[in-house]
Amino acid sequence: MAVTRIDISNRSNFADGASFDGVGPYELLEGTAHFAVDPLNQRNQAITDLELAPRDANGQVRFSADFAMLQPADPGQGNGRLLFDVVNRGRKTALSLNDVPAATDLLAPLQAGNGFLMRHGYTVVWCGWQADVPPTPGLIGLQAPEAIGPDGPLTGRILCQFQCNELTQHFLLADRDHLSHSPADPDDPSATLTVQDHPNGTAQPISRGDWSFVRLEEADAGADTEPNHVYLPSGFQPGR
């Protein structure tokens, strides 16, 4: 895998320009990293459906990802080590090593906490790896090409699991608030919805005529839009 280009869209002082003992101030770089991979390289064949992605004139598959990097403003003051933080659902987690509480505001500036990583001169890098992270400011995701089969975009069966704490009539077809998986055929008679009392309980089928795939607006106003919710008029029961 090769990084073909780095686009920096924002460069700012970290922690209001605070100086960390022996290292000095830090800066935050944010932008987009562009990649190219050879689908014929054996090392890349573990990437699902890579061979079905569009290729450029050189036979490479190209994609991009959001990235962010914290580094000493004077790189020569760093310790020469890089800490790569594997983001959790698009969220940065490495600064928890500095006793920074989990952020509730995605747009809030990164906090230095006790400054442990900075005082020791580490460079910290985040890069998106999940293609289903929504393009929300503050989240870090990956922009992947669509796999195309002989008959067009790929289709297949997927499993979504939901659990609610209060009665609700609809769920987004996604993991939490990530990008949804819309059904290829909203009226597919073979689609199934089941309910069970606990994760290892017996699944009880719900009649296909009792639920449907809709957008949330469709459930309320009958709008003709792409379905990305499952809708059960009688409601999904809490604790099941």
Q: Are 145 and 62 in contact (CB under 8 A)?
A: yes
Measured distance CA(31)–CA(125) in Å, rounded: 12
Q: What is the DSSP string of 122-161?
A: -EEEEE---TTS---TT---EEPPPPEETTEE--------
pTM: 0.83
Domain coordinates in residue numbering, the chain: 2-148, 155-236
Residue 234, SS3?
Answer: strand
Q: Are strands 82-85 and 123-127 parallel, antiparallel or unpaired?
A: parallel
Does residue 24 contact residue 76 with C-beta atoms inside 8 Å? no
Q: Is 10 exposed, middle or buried (0-12, 13-18, 19+ CB in 10 A)?
A: exposed
Q: What is the pLDDT of residues 181-225, one digit of tens each?
A: 889 899 999 999 999 998 889 999 999 999 999 876 655 555 445
CB 111 within 8 A of CB 15: yes
pLDDT tens-digit map of 74-106 = 999 999 999 999 999 999 999 888 888 877 777
